[in-house]
Chain A
């Protein structure tokens, strides 16, 4: 297995792409105007595009890392927070807070910045625990059960979200609908800061345990017999995955399949070792999301596509391809 790392070339590519991302949009920025205080161009750059591009990069990184963590948690390379219902749980909690507590949140911006991610995180934890409990078998976790439970949770959360939208007023409805499709339009520096802290926290915690996470993949019993505290490891993974999904869903809505695609691509390149997988997934996730965001603004400019639609367009077929490969490969059934 190769130890090739994409960290250095990837970081350079990410910087370049972010510059591209900053230049895309309805207003053509003049370089000479950017450093002039109070110019419109500077305001567009620093208050709209910069937080937006950073938000996209951070969300992509977190989604990729939480995808890798979810796959480790369930010992299944096809597990993705959006497929198994974790994102839906987080989304339901967030919609409930927005629709039922809308006026209270509107008057307190700090409450909105912290309250929504907390609600979203709690929804994510509950959904993860439910899936864990229901999919666990005597030996390991059943793949079929995992996807079926995800299907059910997605349907239930979808029904409740539908009901909440039905009772919501027009502006809340429009907000919720766009948010559910996944979008970076409301980016603020507060969100960038929160995501930054969460990403560093989650990545450091997981990276420190990366060797043990490899042993965890051998099976719960095997990991325990190799000296891994499996209860602590399970909670670490559940918390990291739910926090990551929670803040991303709260700030950017439902963006599917990034957590599935990115770790898969990285594994093809450098193998399943978590020590290499986690940081590289973060980087590739950021790259992919900045690219998707730039495309979503460019394709039907001056209007824009919700970015979640783009990731689903790429991710759906990718998932079908993976399923096809898995079920046609000898020995996998």
Chain B
């Protein structure tokens, strides 16, 4: 379980409490500039906040070394640049660095991640030659290689950016499977339908503040319309899924 309190950074973010339970996907929603990435940076201790408390199972993340933090929490940031000709396989295996896995465990995990993210045919490709979507899948794979062998924390900032629909589905399905390893997963998503389908808990950010937090009952059209500043309708499909429809204006 990831528990954070008193996250405050100037004008950008003011969240009093944030909890991500083990074995759940916690989705952070909000418009551009609402503080989603700042919240994730704070949770991953990339920015140190005086007064903030960030704990995994009672261990204060701000008090331990970067090395020991990296074995508990794996983070996908929003943009990566890599100008050197590492192969996809080399980049993916870099995720193993902070962990103490034996060769069998490492190989098993590598095969699983590569299959789940459909990277088999790309393993020998040089990273700088990848398309944006391929690079994104490679980085997701690296981060998921880094997940703690015990119940840890996985943070992902917009993991589905640049992915086609099939690979968006592949990423979300794999994350769904990882729930059984009892990780607390936090992700920033923009697609409300996908969020509602895979998320267990949601936090809505508006101008740096958490305006609502809870299960999918908080995803009400009035609140969403206000937060995203566009009219959003909510429907329930025949098989019981929530579906959202933003009314785009075309004049």
B-contacting residues of A (Cβ < 8 Å)?
1, 75-77, 139-140, 211-212, 214-215, 217-219, 221-222, 224-230, 267, 271-273, 331-332
By Cβ-Cβ distance, the 5 closest A-B pairs, closest first, are A227-B70, A227-B67, A227-B98, A272-B84, A225-B75
Q: With A and B bound together, what is the CA distance between A130 and B90 in angstroms?
A: 33
Least CB separation from A211: chain B residue = B97
Contact in complex: A226, B70 (CB < 8 Å):
yes
Which residue of A140, A224, A229 is within 8 Å of B81 (Cβ)?
A: A140
Contact in complex: B90, A226 (CB < 8 Å):
no
Q: Which of B69-89 contact A (CB under 8 A)?
A: 69-71, 73-75, 77, 79-87, 89
Which residue of A77, A218, A271 is within 8 Å of B94 (Cβ)?
A: A218
Known: A215-B97, A226-B97, A229-B66. A271 touches B87 (CB 8 A): yes
Least CB separation from A217: chain B residue = B84
Known: A219-B80, A219-B82, A272-B84. A225 touches B70 (CB 8 A): yes
Contact in complex: A77, B84 (CB < 8 Å):
yes
Q: With A and B bound together, what is the CA distance between A77 and B83 in angstroms?
A: 7
Which residue of A76, A219, A229, A331 is within 8 Å of B67 (Cβ)?
A: A229
Which residue of B46, B66, B85, B124 is within 8 Å of A228 (Cβ)?
A: B66
Contact in complex: B79, A139 (CB < 8 Å):
yes
Known: A225-B75, A226-B94, A227-B70. A331 touches B128 (CB 8 A): yes
The secondary-structure label for the interface of chain A is loop
Least CB separation from B81: chain A residue = A140
Contact in complex: B66, A227 (CB < 8 Å):
yes
Least CB separation from B124: chain A residue = A1
Which residue of B67, B94, B128 is within 8 Å of A214 (Cβ)?
A: B94
Check if B203 is an interface residue, CB within 8 A of chain A: no
Q: Contact string, B85-107, partner A, CB cutoff 8 A, digits 1/0?
A: 11101110011011000000000
Contacts of B66 in A (CB 8 A): 224, 227-230
Least CB separation from A229: chain B residue = B66
CB distance from B37 to the nearest CB of A (A): 11
Q: With A and B bound together, what is the CA distance between A140 and B83 in angstroms?
A: 11
Q: With A and B bound together, what is the CA distance between A271 and B86 in angstroms?
A: 7
Contacts of A218 in B (CB 8 A): 80, 82, 91, 94
Contacts of A75 in B (CB 8 A): 81, 83-84
**24 A-B pairs (CB sep. < 8 Å):** A1-B124, A75-B81, A75-B84, A77-B84, A140-B81, A214-B90, A214-B94, A217-B83, A218-B91, A219-B77, A221-B77, A222-B77, A225-B44, A225-B73, A225-B74, A225-B75, A226-B95, A227-B98, A228-B66, A229-B65, A230-B66, A267-B85, A272-B84, A273-B86
Q: With A and B bound together, what is the CA distance between A81 and B194 in angstroms?
A: 49
Contacts of A1 in B (CB 8 A): 86-87, 89-90, 124
Check if B148 is an interface residue, CB within 8 A of chain A: no
Known: A77-B83, A331-B128, A331-B129. A225 touches B97 (CB 8 A): no
Which residue of B77, B79, B91 is within 8 Å of A225 (Cβ)?
A: B77
Check if B146 is an interface residue, CB within 8 A of chain A: yes
Contact in complex: A225, B81 (CB < 8 Å):
no
Contact in complex: A225, B46 (CB < 8 Å):
yes
Contacts of B98 in A (CB 8 A): 226-227
Which residue of B83, B85, B128 is within 8 Å of A76 (Cβ)?
A: B83
Least CB separation from A273: chain B residue = B90
Q: Which of B26-78 contact A (CB under 8 A)?
A: 44, 46, 65-71, 73-75, 77
In the complex, besides A217-B82, A219-B80, 7 extra interface pairs with C-beta distance below 8 angstroms are A139-B79, A217-B84, A226-B97, A228-B67, A271-B87, A272-B84, A273-B90
Contacts of A211 in B (CB 8 A): 97
CB distance from A229 to the nearest CB of B (A): 6
Q: Contact string, B205-229, partner A, CB cutoff 8 A, digits 1/0?
A: 0000000000000000000000000
Least CB separation from A214: chain B residue = B94
CB distance from B124 to the nearest CB of A (A): 8
Q: With A and B bound together, what is the CA distance between A278 and B212 in angstroms?
A: 53
Known: A224-B46, A226-B98. A219 touches B81 (CB 8 A): yes
CB distance from B169 to the nearest CB of A (A): 26
Contacts of B44 in A (CB 8 A): 225
Contacts of B71 in A (CB 8 A): 227
Contacts of B75 in A (CB 8 A): 225
Contacts of B82 in A (CB 8 A): 217-219
CB distance from B87 to the nearest CB of A (A): 5
Q: With A and B bound together, what is the CA distance between A225 and B66 in angstroms?
A: 7
